Amino acid sequence: MELVIKDMTCGGCAKAVTRLVTRLDPGATVEIDLPTQRVAITSSHPDAEVRETLSRGGFPPA
């Protein structure tokens, strides 16, 4: 899944996003392009669950 997270503006934010996803799914892969605020996530969890986790963590996908 590819997401845009407008609230992700720095390296700390990128680490937080990665931490949120990997807490939900330790086997997930998270690739972040900070300048474009894009995140590519591969997870065995449903997309809606990943989006909800990010939103609850303060990084709602656009």
* Residue showing tokens 């996803």: 21
Strand ranges in 1-62 using DSSP code E only, listed in sequence order: 2-4, 29-33, 38-42
- Regarding pTM above 0.85, the answer is yes
pLDDT digits (tens, 9 = 90+) for 2-59: 999 999 999 999 999 999 999 999 999 999 999 999 999 999 999 999 999 999 999 9
d(CA 28, CA 19): 10
Nearest one of 33, 25, 10 to 54, comparing CA atoms: 25
Structural domains of the chain, with CATH: 2-56 (3.30.70.100)
